[in-house]
Structures are given as structure tokens and as C-alpha cells.
Amino acid sequence: MGEVRDLASAPSVRRRRPVVSDELVLPAEPTAPRVARRWVMRTAAHAGVGGTTNQLAELLTAELVANAVVHAPDCGDVSVRVVVDSAVLRVEVTDGGAGRPVLRHAAPSDPNGRGLALVEALSVSWGATGAGIGKTVWFELAADA
């Protein structure tokens, strides 16, 4: 008779990360990008995501939260959600501002307008949802990178 093995000890099972999903709500203030990026780094690290992926998540989160702070209504909040599974780290940033994000190609002399270009260049995918008032802008990174 064959040997009975504990499937939980198989290497393919041990490599799987549990699904982690957490959310942080911050006032739309100038300190929000710093607080959000540190929180995302800790949440991703707790889920087993480190190295370059964690650093990219930090940078791209700061860009999206900074945009949300600029475009959120006065006295509004910014919500940051992180979801990590075995393949993908996803960060979603939600604010109550009107309009949709626009990917710009800023000139070297422009004082701003590079945030979404960074998100476009460094993420696996990104996008925005919502119509009218309020929107969510998100990006995804490979969690195993």
C-alpha cells in the first residue's frame, strides 16, 4: 500500500500565502501619503511580500494617496485597501472627489503630473472605477516578485 502523506506539507501548498485583506481610512491631509505607504509596507510584509514588490507598493501607494488628497473634497477621507493572495498584491485608493484620473505625460519642466505615469510604468495593471462623485484607483503587482 502507498504511503499517506500530509498534503499541507507539500511544497506547492507551503508556498501559498493566505489571502490578506485590510483597509485603512485617513483624513485627506498632507500627511496621508506617508501614513498610507508605511501601512501598506507593513501589511504587505505581514503577508510575506518583501523586496522590490514591497518597495514598489510603497511608492505607488504614496502617488495614489497624494492624488486622492489633492482631489478629495475638503474634510473628506481617503480609504486605502490592500489585498494580497498567492499571486497578486492589489492596492485600492478611494476618495470622494469628482472626475476620473487622467494619465499625463508631463514635460520635464512641469511641477507635477508624473504619478499615474509611474503607476502605469511600474505596475502589472491599474485602473479606476466609479462615476460621478467618488472613485477608486487601483494597481496590482506580482506578489511573488
pTM (2 d.p.): 0.83
Angle formed by the axes of helices 51-71 and 32-46, nearest 10°? 150
Q: Is the pLDDT of residue 27 over 70?
A: yes
Rg of the chain in Å (alpha carbons): 18
Cell of 129: 472605477
Query: Would you state the pLDDT for residue 71?
Result: 81
Give residue-wise pLDDT tens across range 87-128.
999 999 999 988 788 887 777 777 677 788 999 999 999 999
Residue 14: pLDDT band (50, 70, 90) is: very low
Cell of 4: 499517506
Q: Where are the beta strands (DSSP E) in 11-130?
A: 20-27, 77-84, 88-98, 125-129
Query: Would you state the pLDDT for residue 17?
Result: 57
Q: Is the pLDDT of residue 5 over 50?
A: no
